[in-house]
Amino acid sequence: MLQHPEELVCKTNLPPVETETRRLSVTSVETDFVAGVYEKIGSFYDVLFGVPLHKGRVESVERLRLSSGDRVLEIGVGTGINVSLYPRDCDVTAIDLSAAMLEKAARRVARHRLSNVSLLQMDAETLTFPDDSFDIVYAPYTISVVSDPVKVVHEMRRVCRPGGRFVFLSHFLSSNPIGARFERFISPATVHLGFKADLDLPAFLQEAGLKPDSIEKVNIPRLWSLVTCSKKS
C-alpha cells in the first residue's frame, strides 16, 4: 500500500474560514449544463482525463483499503476508467448523470467481464439509495464538476453506513496566491471541459461541516487531493 506520511494533512491544521467572505468558486453551473457538457466531451473524455489522471486513480483506490465484501458506491463513474481497479470480491455500484458516459462505461464493464459492477444513471445531488447503504462512498474527480458540491457530500454521508467512509478526490484551489488568482481566472472557461478549476477546499469543508480524517496528495504533479471522512457509528 502506498504511504506518503509527509503529505498527510491533519484536520486541526486547516485554517479557519469565513464562508461569508470566501467563495467556493467564482463560477456556478446548473445540473443540466453539467449533463450537456459531458454529453459533448464523452467521445474524447479518455484522452483528456484518462492517462493524465490515472496514477491518481490507482493511488486512491489503493488508499481506500477495501476489504472483501465491501459495498462500494462510486459517484461519477464517467466512462468507467476506475471499474477494473476495484477488487473483484467487492460489490461496486457506479453512477453517472450522463447516459453517453454510462454507455462507454457499460462497454468497459463488459470488456473486463466485471460481474461485481452495476451501473446506474443518477444525479449525485439526489441519490435514490436508502440511508446507510454502502461501506465506502467514493467520488473520484467529481466534486469540482457538480453544481452543488456541498449537497453531494451530504448525500454521500447519508448513504454511507455508520463506521464507513466517504471519500472524494479532486483538484482544489491552490494555496499559492498567484496560482489561486490564475485558477479563479480560468474557472469560467474550464467548466466547459467539465470542472471548476478553483473549488476552495477549506471553505468547502467548513460549509459542508466536514472534519476529514486525512487529506493526501496524489498524482504527478501532486495537485490533486484525496479527502477521507468517516461517518460516526
Confidence of residue 22 (pLDDT cuts 50, 70, 90): low
Q: What is the three-class DSSP state of 218? A: strand
The answer to whether 77 and 66 are in contact (CB under 8 A) is no
Could you read off the pLDDT of 155-189 as tens digits, one per residue? 999 999 999 999 999 999 999 999 999 999 999 89
Q: Out of 69-73, 159-163, 215-219, which region has the weakest mean confidence (pLDDT)?
A: 215-219
Domain count, the chain: 1
CATH number of the CATH domain containing 12 = 3.40.50.150
- Residue 187 belongs to domain spanning: 5-230
Q: Out of 32-36, 55-59, 184-188, 202-206, which region has the weakest mean confidence (pLDDT)?
A: 32-36
The answer to whether 70 and 91 are in contact (CB under 8 A) is yes
Round to whole Å and give the CA distance between 81 and 45.
10
Q: According to the model, what pLDDT value does residue 28 have?
A: 82
Round to whole Å and give the CA distance between 60 and 55.
8
The answer to whether 78 and 101 are in contact (CB under 8 A) is yes
Per-residue burial over 49-75, b = 16 or more CB atoms within 10 Å of its CB, e = otherwise: beeebeebbebbbebbebeeebbbbbb
Query: Across all residues in the chain, what is the average pLDDT?
Result: 87
Q: According to the model, what pLDDT value does residue 194 have?
A: 81
Flag whether pLDDT at 144 surpasses 50.
yes
Highest mean pLDDT pick, 36-40, 180-184, 190-194: 180-184
* The three cell numbers locating residue 204: 468547502
Q: Taking the CB of residue 130, how many other CB atoms lie within 10 A of it?
A: 8
Looking at residue 118, its amino acid is S
| Bridge partner list, 121 | 96
Flag whether pLDDT at 41 surpasses 80.
no
The secondary structure element, H or E, covering residue 71 is strand 71-75
Flag whether pLDDT at 13 surpasses 60.
no
Confidence of residue 4 (pLDDT cuts 50, 70, 90): very low
Place of cell 484536520: 11
Distances (CA, A) of 120 to 1, 94, 116, 117, 124: 30, 6, 13, 10, 11
How much of the chain, in percent, has pLDDT values that exceed 90?
Answer: 64
